[in-house]
A = this chain, B = another copy of it.
Amino acid sequence: MKILVMGAGSIGSLFAGLLACNNENDVTIVAREFQVKAVKSYGLKIKGLIEKTVKNIKAETSVQPLIKEAWDLILLTVKAYSVSEASKQISPLIKEKTMVLCLQNGIGVEDEVLKVIRKENIIRGVTFCGAFLEKPGIVVSTGFGKTILGGLSPRNYDNILDIAENFKNSGFYVEISDNIQSIVWTKTLVNAGINPYGTLTGMRNGELLEYEDLKLLIAETVLEGVRVADKLKIPLPEDPVDLTFKTAKATAENFNSMLQDIKRGRRTEIDYINGAISRLGSSTGVSTPLNMLLTFLVKRLEKNTMVEELWRRVIHQKIS
């Protein structure tokens, strides 16, 4: 399978690396320059739960040189807020049989792709693999769970079967879902309950469970989303509140990805997590005050205004 990984950050690199170890595949990544340089020079190294050094990966900083090739699969692994731009970039690469797999967090991501690519070519995926980029060319696998795939159209079911088979042969645990939105929503609701609270308090996931008030707030935040899902007739097979607490417990020592983004001065995915719940709440008439407030405060933190304000204060205390 000829595979392009568009956006080789942590999850993109993990998938690119393992897929490239499968002799059936020919893998190219498109990534930022520092990552492309490292991969071209030393290959891609996977550490943590899996240990591999992968040499046979091609790497480019843009899709321009790749337009004439015939791609079977494009893994779209950019962050949610870059999906719109990345979709435009890959659209000239799409042939009739090219499948685009959207594998980022968040609600409504595939709607951005649908603006430029036909639904017959789009697959939504949710992965429970966790990873972070230790440095350019080195990705650390911190969790290795299922990856679930679902098509936006029943017409691409055979393609999904092929991709699932290929992923399994590459070492992934893969399932196919006929209601991928349920999976997307369930994972997003868990993120909506954990991520902004960890971000605004600086706490590890496990610490969040030590405060009764916070547990009530987390539950209510998730329940706001459950009510929106209900209105949108998206079934949620597991109890999302229960799953949120279980996930926080299972990842007790972790700082969530949103907090990591803020610490690194990066934009977060809040707009596609709590922000999406809040927007869809508004449009369906479901009240979502907590998701709205959390979105506002995290976006304020993104802009660093609060940090600077508090920083001035701390500095002031130190010198006065």
* Chain A residues with a Cβ under 8 A of chain B: 200-202, 211, 213-214, 216-217, 220, 262-263, 265, 289-290, 292-297, 300, 305-311, 313-314, 317
Q: Closest chain B residue to A203 by CB distance?
A: B305
Residues of B within 8 A of A211 (CB): 296
Which residue on chain B has the smallest CB distance to residue A316?
Answer: B263
Partner of A311, one of B220, B296, B311: B311
Are A213 and B296 in contact, with the CB atoms below 8 A? yes
Q: Is A200 touching B306 in the complex (CB atoms < 8 A)?
A: yes
- Collect the chain B residues with CB atoms within 8 Å of residue A200's CB: 297, 300, 306
Q: A200-B306, A306-B200 are in contact. Are A217 and B289 (CB under 8 A)?
A: yes
- Taking A202-B309, A217-B296, A262-B313 as known contacts, 15 extra A-B pairs with beta carbons closer than 8 A to each other, sorted by chain A number, are A200-B297, A201-B300, A201-B305, A201-B306, A213-B295, A213-B296, A214-B296, A216-B292, A217-B293, A289-B289, A289-B290, A306-B310, A307-B313, A307-B314, A311-B314
Cα separation A214 to B202 with both chains bound (whole Å): 23
